Amino acid sequence: MAIATLLPATTAFIQRAPRMLIGAEWVEAADGQTMPLHNPATGEQLCVVPRATVDDVDRAVLAARQAFDDSPWSRTRPRERQNLLWKLADLMQRDAELLAQLECLNNGKSAAVAQAMDVQLAIDFLRYMAGWATKIEGSSVEVSVPLMPDQQFHSFIRREAVGVVGAIVAWNFPLLLACWKLGPALATGCTVVLKPADETPLTALKLAELVQEAGYPDGVFNVVTGTGITAGAALTHNPRVDKLTFTGSTAVGKEIGKIAMDNMTRVTLELGGKSPTIVMADADQGSAAAGAASAIFFNQGQVCCAGSRLYVQRKHFDNVVADIAGIANAMKLGSGLDTSVDMGPLISARQQERVWRYIEMGRDSGATLACGGERFGPGYFVKPTVIVDVDQQHSLVQEEIFGPVLVAIPFDDEADALRLANDSPYGLGASIWSNDLAAVHRMIPRIKSGSVWVNCHSALDPALPFGGYKMSGVGREMGYAAIEHYTELKSVLIKL
């Protein structure tokens, strides 16, 4: 067992009970209330952070509003926005180990994986978005204006920053999800109020320090820590927010979408998933099993596009399930600071209980556990679990569990695989494991999801738009699609 040593800076950051950033000020909540954070690997309290009030959120939005409407930021040129984002990415690179350790302590995930993946992907994404800052274009249009036939016109379309962005994120990839919002917002010239998940605000607060250090003007980036019900709701209702961008559950996303329409606030929603992994008979069965295991067990299954439904062509079903169960049984569970560990704890006792209820539901309804089905503490651990003999309409198959639980069902042919894969309220991602090019190309257009991976799963790239069909959301993050969501179009007609 090799335990990573905490950096003095990590311990110091936690010990000083970090505050929120509103405008230029690092502040407590207006009423002095705090909320505790826990280490999911031990259940012990890590520290407390401010529990923002409605007033705090309103002040943060006002700071962002002023920074957008009337500050040097509103006149910043694309090249400066590009350079600032690049500088921020460099600072994150400098502090990558610290950010990863904070993520590990706060979320439970492996510090090594957080550094190599969460933090690195966030840095890469900011650099990708820095590139867009200088490439935001409008267009000129030759117009006819039929009602004024004797006039000459010059007409063009501007693409302008949408304004103040209210960003609310989930706890499964705290830093990365925040940067998916921050990158396009800062590239386009917006300002941001970020409400990190109740459970995992630490990297957002560190990020705010780095934003200041990078030289962004005050008010461009504000972080309010607090609960969804108070701080998240206050941000959602605030009429000074021009755009809401939300990553979280479908239930909360629906509420936010409805409230956003009261103020006609622009909104993007990145919501839940129940993504299928489809293994065709011709696939390399070993790679497919390893890929399917990683598709569900990575990040303890707390991944919106996790491959949580496995469909295997019948003749290979038993073998693939046995291989995945073998991989699951060999996984070592423990603290994310232990570099020999394959899987960490779930985020909270509540999430552990939720996942456990689904496993019990499976047992009670006569499903078979091919592996796993155990939980232990004092942290919030659930062993990687594979469930078979379960009907397609069962809650285990239809609902998002958001834990290391895979349900596996055999299928007979391509049409059957497509029917089962699409039989879900969600549509975030899907993977097809096959080397039959024709079959793969027949299937891709028929799968109702925002991403389709072939012979891989959950592979993301900053240039590829990411988001959901159906109940998995509205809008896209990443790629140029994100730039579109953080800008408005303005048509200009000049009579000459």
For residues 228 and 479, which CB has a smaller minimum distance to ligand NAD in the complex?
Answer: 228
Using CB under 6 A, which residues numbered 293 to 352 contact ligand NAD? Answer: 304
CA-closest candidate to residue 431, choices 311, 328, 267: 311
What's the chain's length in residues? 496
Give the interface size with ligand NAD as a residue count (CB under 6 A): 31
Q: Which of 22, 210, 224, 256 binds ligand NAD (CB under 6 A)?
A: 256
For residues 91 and 252, which CB has a smaller minimum distance to ligand NAD in the complex?
Answer: 252
Q: How far apart are CA 27 and CA 17, in angstroms?
A: 11
Q: Which stretch binds ligand NAD (CB under 6 A): 47-55, 190-198, 386-394, 440-448?
A: 190-198
Binding mask 206-245 for ligand NAD (x = CB under 6 A): ---------------------xxx--xx--x---------
Q: How far apart are CA 184 and CA 189, in angstroms?
A: 8
424 near ligand NAD (CB under 6 A): no
For residues 9 and 349, which CB has a smaller minimum distance to ligand NAD in the complex?
Answer: 349
Q: Shortest distance, CB of residue 478 to ligand NAD, whole angstroms?
A: 10
Phi, psi of 430 (to 5 degrees): -160, 145
Q: How far apart are CA 56 and CA 344, in angstroms?
A: 34
Contacting residues for 181 by C-beta, under 8 A, at least 6 apart: 165, 167, 169, 192, 194, 245, 247, 477
278 near ligand NAD (CB under 6 A): no
Hey, what are 466's tokens?
């990411």
Hey, what are 127's tokens?
């650099």
- With contact defined as beta carbons under 8 Å apart, do 373 and 363 qualify? yes
Active site residue 160: no
For residues 216 and 426, which CB has a smaller minimum distance to ligand NAD in the complex?
Answer: 426
With 0-12 / 13-18 / 19 or more C-beta atoms within 10 angstroms meaning exposed / middle / buried, residue 336 is buried
* Bridge partners of residue 275, in order along the sequence: 307
Amino acid at 460: L
Q: Which of 174, 336, 379, 473 binds ligand NAD (CB under 6 A)?
A: 473
Identified catalytic residue from 270, 400, 414, 477: 270
381 near ligand NAD (CB under 6 A): no
Q: Which of 98, 170, 293, 343 binds ligand NAD (CB under 6 A)?
A: 170
Q: Which stretch binds ligand NAD (CB under 6 A): 33-41, 191-199, 260-268, 435-443?
A: 191-199
- The three-state secondary structure class of 477 is strand
103 near ligand NAD (CB under 6 A): no
Identified catalytic residue from 47, 104, 190, 304: 304
Q: How far apart are CA 27 and CA 52, in angstroms?
A: 10
Q: Which of 125, 128, 132, 171 binds ligand NAD (CB under 6 A)?
A: 171
Q: Shortest distance, CB of residue 172 to ligand NAD, whole angstroms?
A: 5
Q: How far apart are CA 177 and CA 21, in angstroms?
A: 18
Q: Shortest distance, CB of residue 186 to ligand NAD, whole angstroms?
A: 19
Q: Shortest distance, CB of residue 128 to ligand NAD, whole angstroms?
A: 17
Q: Are strands 45-50 and 139-141 parallel, antiparallel or unpaired?
A: unpaired
270 near ligand NAD (CB under 6 A): yes
For residues 218 and 270, which CB has a smaller minimum distance to ligand NAD in the complex?
Answer: 270
195 near ligand NAD (CB under 6 A): yes
- Burial letters for 99-136: b for 16+ Cβ neighbours within 10 Å, e otherwise? bbbbbbbbbbbbbbbbbebbbbbbbebbbbbbebbeeb
Active site residue 304: yes
Using CB under 6 A, which residues numbered 390 to 419 contact ligand NAD? Answer: 400, 402
- With contact defined as beta carbons under 8 Å apart, do 386 and 372 qualify? yes
- With contact defined as beta carbons under 8 Å apart, do 211 and 221 qualify? yes
Q: Which stretch binds ligand NAD (CB under 6 A): 51-59, 249-257, 326-334, 368-376?
A: 249-257
58 near ligand NAD (CB under 6 A): no
- The three-state secondary structure class of 111 is helix
CA-closest candidate to residue 94, choices 209, 218, 223, 222: 209
With 0-12 / 13-18 / 19 or more C-beta atoms within 10 angstroms meaning exposed / middle / buried, residue 315 is exposed
For residues 259 and 440, which CB has a smaller minimum distance to ligand NAD in the complex?
Answer: 259
Q: Shortest distance, CB of residue 243 to ligand NAD, whole angstroms?
A: 15
- The three-state secondary structure class of 471 is coil
Q: Which of 271, 408, 418, 482 binds ligand NAD (CB under 6 A)?
A: 271
Q: Which of 56, 198, 218, 414 binds ligand NAD (CB under 6 A)?
A: 198
For residues 81 and 237, which CB has a smaller minimum distance to ligand NAD in the complex?
Answer: 237
SS3 content of the chain, % helix, strand, coil (to 5): 40, 25, 35
DSSP state of 301: G
For residues 186 and 233, which CB has a smaller minimum distance to ligand NAD in the complex?
Answer: 233
Active site residues: 270, 304
* Residue ranges that bind ligand NAD, judged by CB under 6 A: 168-172, 177, 195, 197-198, 227-229, 232-233, 236, 247-249, 252, 255-256, 270-273, 304, 400, 402, 428, 468, 473
